[in-house]
Amino acid sequence: MKPSLSAEYVTADELAECYHISKELYQKLWKVTAASEKNDTRNDIENYDPASWTEGAPNLLSKVWSQFTATEQVQINKALEEGS
């Protein structure tokens, strides 16, 4: 399943906090957010790459889409379509 177009602009933590979703999906979104932030090197002074900021947040739904099951992807798209 492909992500909604909104997935290019909404982060996993934003979906968790601002949209109507299940408790289970809420927890998964925060796990994905924590993992993506752990691997985010945009603020690493030794490896700083200004171009990395143009790529958007590391936990944009479009970037972490593959970490969700098909059922979770359906729930995410539904929440994005319904809005916050």
Dihedral sign (CA 33, 34, 40, 45) = positive
Return the exposure string of 44-57: e unless at least 16 CB atoms fall within 10 Å of the residue's CB, then b. Answer: eeeeeeeeeeeeeb
Predicted pLDDT of residue 58: 79
Predicted pLDDT of residue 56: 66
End-to-end CA distance of the chain: 22
Predicted pLDDT of residue 18: 95
Per-position pLDDT tens, the chain of length 84: 999 999 998 999 999 999 999 999 999 999 999 888 776 655 555 665 655 544 667 788 999 999 999 999 999 999 999 986
Q: Domain range for residue 71? A: 5-82
Tell me which residue has tokens 């700083």: 48
Total structural domains within the chain: 1
Collect all residues with Cβ–Cβ distance below 8 Å to 6 and sequence separation of at least 6. Answer: 61, 80, 81
